[in-house]
Amino acid sequence: MSNLIQAIQNLGLSENESRIYLALLELGRAGVAAIAAKAEVKRTSCYVILDELIRKGLVSTTQTAGRVQYAAEPPETLLRLGRERVNQFDALLPELKSLFNLSDNKPRIRFYEGKESYVAICEDSLARSGKEIWLVSNLDNLQQIITKEYDDTVYIPTRMQASKKLLMATFKSPSMDAYRAKDAEQLREIRYLPDNMKFNASMFIYGDTISLISSEKELIGLIIDSAPLAAMAKAMFQASWQLAK
């Protein structure tokens, strides 16, 4: 039951609203006393909450022999609430984006820690890039953090679906040879850097953004939105790309 309460709360209802709605689903049609007892909500609060659920279109009333009875609307009604929340967010998105890009003159830096945050950095490279993503990486090291499974089942398919080509400068290894053999079918070009340059970190470059991922030992990452820094990183990538084979 607690999972159902939480799921309904995620659609915008309070805990007590969720409890009362679920209680009515089970009771069918009932008076306030029965509803309050089933939902474990104070009877005095139940009246106010029922009025709010009626306003939201989740509860209806009938009157029999002078007594008010309440009934839950079908669970499909909750879908409408979910869609309304999404639509409200969609309407706000342009304004939120304008706030996000409010200052073009200052670099925006986001700091991350932990493995889940590393996945967020990888996904940012998909969400905000153009048709090419540049990556300088010790991919074998990176996959110790985000796992090869994530790369194979999430990152690569998502990137291919969005038709975003990956140019990656990395270091030769048996696993990278296996990746390189699939370059054509996976919309990618891999080149190998000299082993004497080896490092345990990764840098994505896309648009005016640099995303840095450190080694597994440090577990930190940065997303830096800065046109001058991205331009410098692109020049460094192009130099490395010419050196790689």
Residue bearing the bigger pLDDT, 158 or 113? 158
Cα separation, 117 vs 45, in Å, equals: 41
What is the DSSP annotation of 6-66?
Answer: HHHHTTT--HHHHHHHHHHHHHSEE-HHHHHHHHT--HHHHHHHHHHHHHTTSEEEEEETT
Asked if residue 235 belongs to a domain, the reply is yes
Q: Do residues 239 and 174 both lie within one domain?
A: yes
Give the structural domain span for 115.
Answer: 107-243
Q: Is the pLDDT of residue 102 over 70?
A: no
Could you tell me if 142 and 228 lie in one domain?
A: yes
Task: Please indicate, yes or no, whether residues 156 and 55 belong to a single structural domain of this protein.
Answer: no
Indicate whether 91 belongs to any domain.
no
Whether 170 and 60 map to the same domain: the answer is no
Q: Look up the pTM and report it.
A: 0.59
Same-domain status, 239 and 127: yes
Task: Please check whether residue 161 lies inside any domain of the structure.
Answer: yes
68 and 7 in a common domain: yes
> Is residue 78 classed as helix, strand or coil in its secondary structure?
helix
87 in a domain, yes or no? no
Q: What is the CATH number of the domain that holds 32?
A: 1.10.10.10
Residue 145 binned pLDDT confidence (cut-offs 50, 70, 90)? confident
Check whether 14 has a pLDDT greater than 90.
no
Residue 4, pLDDT above cutoff 70: yes
Q: Looking at the structure, tell me whether residues 28 and 116 fall in a common domain.
A: no
The total of structural domains in the chain comes to 2
Long-range contacts of residues 172-176, Cβ cutoff 8 Å, at least 24 apart? 173/140, 175/139, 175/140, 175/143, 175/148, 176/139, 176/140
Q: Is the dihedral of CA 171, 172, 173, 176 positive or negative?
A: positive
In a domain, 101, yes or no: no
> Which one, of 199, 221, 218, 214, lies nearest residue 124 by Cα?
221
Determine, yes or no, domain membership for 203.
yes
- Average pLDDT value over all residues in the chain: 86
Collapse the DSSP code of 188 into the 3-class scheme (helix H, G, I; strand E, B; otherwise coil) and give the result.
strand
pLDDT at 158 over 90: yes
How confident is the model at residue 98, as a pLDDT?
64
Task: Label the pairing between strands 132-137 and 165-171.
Answer: parallel
Structural domain contains residue 56: yes
Distance CA 119, CA 162 (A): 18
Please name every residue paired with 64 in a beta bridge, in sequence order, or none if there are none.
67
d(CA 133, CA 126): 8
Is residue 63 domain-shared with residue 171, that is, in the same domain?
Answer: no
Residue 90 or residue 139, greater confidence: 139
Q: Are residues 114 and 73 located together in one domain of the fold?
A: no
Query: What is the CATH classification number for the domain harbouring 236?
Result: 3.30.870.10
Which of 16-20, 90-94, 124-128 comes out lowest in average pLDDT? 90-94
Residue 151 and residue 73 share a domain: no
Q: pLDDT category, 1, cuts 50, 70, 90?
A: low
Q: pLDDT per residue over 168-205, tens digit each?
A: 999 999 999 999 999 999 999 999 999 888 888 899 99
**pLDDT for res 12:** 79
- 102 domain-assigned: no
pLDDT at 228: 92
pLDDT at 13: 84
Distance CA 15, CA 241 (A): 56
Residues 69 and 111 occupy one common structural domain: no
pLDDT of residue 11: 78
